[in-house]
Structure 1
Amino acid sequence: MEQITIPSDRDGVAYLYGHPLRNSLSPPLHQTVYNALGLNWTQIALSSANGPSYTQSPDITTFLSSIRSNPKFVGSSVTMPWKVAIMSHLDDLTEDAQQAGACNTIFLRKDSQSETSYVGTNTDCIGIREALLQNSPTGPDHFRGKPALIVGGGGTARTAIYVLRRWLGSSKIYIVNRDAAEIETILAEDKQRNAGGSGVAPLVPISDPAVAATVEAPVAIVSGIPNYPPKTEEESRARETLKVLLGRQPHGVILEMCYHPVPWTDIAQMASDAGWKVILGSEALIWQGLEQARLWTGTDVVAVPGLVEQVKEFVAKAVAERAKSNL
């Protein structure tokens, strides 16, 4: 793909950059926002078919040169495989992008001389934060000073660690993951990013169910792994460790970030059976999308009457339809 579409019939265009994009809810979610605001805007997925089930997006140089020369460009979502690679090519990065170690959003910033900067941020931070806070049993301070748990060792884990520290005030953060090397990488990155570590909630890997039975119970969990049954010994051990932690008292809330192809995963069922309140990952999708829309439109979209409800209704319907098609 060499040419990037600039629609002549639209006043503004946002992009979705990465691949594969065929199942993304981002363009219709943003269209719901634009329609509600009366904006003649659209979001276009930048990928082209490359075989029956694979899509390819343009390289970073092609993408950035195009948006910089596009007078209708308002912003872009960024997905894999570009979320880390694109960071060094942008004019500036927010603290959220730096701390999460990934960029999922580009927005425009103008200085006093009307010079435009292309800034990277990570609205997944806002998505995770709001999904947890909006579903807190007793308000925003429910999680403060108490342990939390991360399941996984990828980008979602890194983002969740930052959120749990900055906004939820977790006292410590347990990590359960099948791959010890991934955990070591997270620990090394975290040590470098937070040199000194003073006042920072410590990361505590747990790989033994027996140890899980002795630690202080977490009140918040963010799970960021695919919905596959455990097959290897390491996967089975991680799942058993999680099961023990889910059985601890008191129970809290779990955000299950995996919602595709089905919204209700094996881990969601385990947590529900154990008495935990389950928050679907589509909830985080909604709030991160609304934050993107705020950055791109300059409008406090959450304050627009009925808009959040429209977006939630669309996402719930879309997720339900996709789950039904995968039965």
Structure 2
Amino acid sequence: MAPPSQKFHLFGYPIAHSAAPALHNHCFNLLGSENTYTIWSTSKVTQEMLAVIHDRDCGGAAVTMPIKTAIIPFLDELSPESRITNACNTIVKVPTADGGVKLVGQNTDILGVRNALLSALKEQHPNPPIPSDASATYPPPTASSGPLAGLVIGGGATTRSAAHALTLLGLAPIFLINRDVEEVRAVMDAMPHLSSAGGLIHLRDPADVETYLVGENKARILMAVGCIPSFAPQTAAERMVYTTASAVLTVPYVVPTLPSPVLPYPTRRLFLEMPYKPLQTTMYKVAAAHGWHVIDGIEAMIEQGLAQQRMWLRGVASVAVGSDSSITGASLEQLARQDTRSRLTAQNPVSAAPHEQGPV
């Protein structure tokens, strides 16, 4: 466990709006720690920033845009998740055998998505307990049933994190909806490992939806993640994104009957909408209107922050540690969730804000 009176920072720009300090400082207070979490506004990696991170008083750090990728060359090690997504939003100071520490980069945006979806699934199935460790996956498809798939709407860094999170839950293929073919190609090129798990498939229009998702033994989407800003569509390409998404959302859903030994199937399909300014975005309302179980982006923001807390406390940058709520305790995390949600929902949601920078 990290000793008291350590300093934690969030590096990036713009970050004045970030809810992360309130979340983390609330956690530190509940833990009885004198640790502090503050924002450090910077649009590039500087020597001063690196000196602060290496300082013995620094217990760890968070990184957001525009330096999620730029920070990578300055770290000692990358987690598999950061390597796969080419993004780091969390720096964990991991003890070494010689008494020192190494800087390990992790991407807890992935766990923000994964754990928010698991939490919603637990709401639908309160008993028996649903695990949050690596065993929390769906079984592979059989010859008599179609694949259990995921959907992501977007094309940037958060899209890559969401796609990998869905894959961790055993969903494949991952369908992508995006107006820009080149942007989709960039996601596919950046994540070639997903091809062996069923691939990444671009849904360009409702005709593609019919081809891939309608009919016997076709892929069945159980969970979806929205990663686009909540701005009113202006162009034909932007409107087509909503048209295609609506086509997916209206595909009839029948709960699978094949056995699932670990994760139960959702009674209502899950839709996690990453933007949360305003809280109910256009896509949020569309998904809710079509009967999906919609989770707002505050949940993902909180879950990725709690994953950071667990890793910093243990000094381990793993998915297992980032998903282990026993490290901080269920009561503490529930209080932190309530406090953060209360703060964010009390704010006046005047305008929408892009969320492709990841939850901060």
Name the TM tier (shorter chain): 0.7 to 0.9
Aligned with residue 97 of structure 1, among 68, 82, 87: 82
Q: 1:76 is paired with a residue of what secondary structure?
A: strand
CA contact (8 A) 1:13 1:75 kept: yes
Residues 1:172 and 2:173 aligned together? yes
- Counterpart in the other structure of 2:204: 207
| Cα separation, 2, equivalents of 1:267 and 1:322 | 20
- When residues 305 and 274 of structure 1 are mapped into structure 2, their CA distance, relative to the original with a 3 A threshold, is closer
Deviations 1:7-28 (A, max 9, x none): xxx8110000001111101011
Alignment map for 1:1-327 (pairs within 5 Å):
11-47=5-41, 56-57=42-43, 59-68=45-54, 70-136=55-121, 137-138=124-125, 140=136, 145-165=147-167, 167-191=168-192, 194=193, 197-198=195-196, 200-216=197-213, 217-250=220-253, 252-260=269-277, 262-298=278-314, 302-303=325-326, 304-323=329-348
User: Cα deviations across residues 227-248 of structure 1 (Å, max 9, x unaligned)?
Assistant: 0111111111111000100111
Matched-pair contact (CA < 8 Å) for 2:63–2:88: yes
How far off its partner does 1:201 sit?
2.5
Offset of 1:66 from its aligned partner? 2.5
Letter in 2 for 1:202: G
Q: Check the 8 A contact 1:60/1:86 in 2, yes or no.
A: no
Paired residues, what number?
Answer: 303
Shift of 1:224: 0.5
| Superposition TM-score, scaled by structure 1 size | 0.87
Identity %: 30
Give secondary structure in 2 for the equivalent of 1:215: helix
Mapped partners of 2:209, 2:275: distance in 1: 23
Q: Could you tell me how far apart the structure 1 residues matched to 2:293 and 2:230 are?
A: 18
Cα distance, 1:171 vs structure 2: 2.3
In the alignment, which residue of structure 2 is the partner of 1:3? none
What is the RMSD computed on CA atoms of the aligned residues?
Answer: 2.1
CA offsets per residue over residues 265-299 of structure 1, 9 Å max, x none? 00000000000000111111111111111111229
TM-score scaled by structure 2? 0.79
CA distance in 2, matches of 1:269, 1:28: 28
Q: List alignment gaps of at least 5 residues for structure 2.
A: 131-135, 141-146, 214-219, 254-267, 316-320, 353-360
In the alignment, is the contact (CA less than 8 A) between 1:143 and 1:219 conserved in 2?
Answer: no
Give the Cα separation in 2 of the matches to 1:324 and 1:143. Answer: 40
Contact between 1:253 and 1:276, CA under 8 Å: does it hold in 2?
Answer: yes
* Letter matched to residue 51 of structure 2: S
SS in 2 for 1:178: coil
Query: In the alignment, which residue of structure 2 is the partner of 1:52?
Result: none
- Unmatched 5+ residue regions in structure 1? 1-9, 48-55
Quickly say closer, same or farther: Cα 1:19–1:143, change in 2 above 3 A. farther
